[in-house]
Amino acid sequence: MFRVKVNTKIASAFFCCILMAVSSLALSGCAQQVPMTGIKLPKECPFRGYPNAECTMVDQVPVAQGVYRYTIVMKSMDDHNKILEYYKSDLAMNGLMLKSQSEEKGKTDLNFKSDKAEAFLSVTPLTSGMQIITLIYKPIGL
């Protein structure tokens, strides 16, 4: 029988490194988002579509030269609160501050405002588990 003398500290450290690498790969795979599918948002649109959603409607209405009001409708199987948190963060990065939030029968409405624009977000759950996301963005002060 052939015996190999192994330094247990080195073996433990090596095992921990392998375990951490495999765990981080597994976790990053879970956190990956699928890009929004369906109708593409116009280049001028000041916000992003929700990842893991299908965009079913985009309405772009000119309100001034090169300035538009947008109504976007998307659908997603993601968790209701995950969608809300995504847009709270995304719209805040665009300078829009959350002004009010209301909930009724599972539907959540959020109102955002800056000195340049207003945004209204509605997330409505369906019995199938799907969420309908409606986002209205309109510039103000024109």
- Structural domains of the chain, with CATH: 37-139 (3.30.310)
Tell me 127's DSSP state.
T
Exposed/middle/buried for 134, CB within 10 Å: 0-12, 13-18, 19+? middle
pLDDT of residue 131: 97
Q: How far apart are CA 86 and CA 98, in angstroms?
A: 13
Residue 8 has pLDDT above 80, yes or no: no
Q: How far apart are CA 131 and CA 50, in angstroms?
A: 11
pLDDT of residue 104: 95
**Per-residue pLDDT tens for 15-55?**
444 434 333 333 333 334 567 788 888 888 888 899 999 99
Using a pLDDT cut of 70, give the percent of the chain over it. 75
Can you give the pTM of this predicted structure? 0.74
Residue 114 has pLDDT above 70, yes or no: yes
Which residues, 6 or more positions from 4, have their beta carbon under 8 angstroms from its beta carbon? none
Which residues, 6 or more positions from 101, have their beta carbon under 8 angstroms from its beta carbon? 108, 109, 110, 111
Give the 3-state secondary structure of residue 92.
helix
pLDDT of residue 23: 34
Using a pLDDT cut of 90, give the percent of the chain over it. 59
pLDDT of residue 80: 95
The CA angle 39-42-44, to the nearest 5 degrees, is: 160
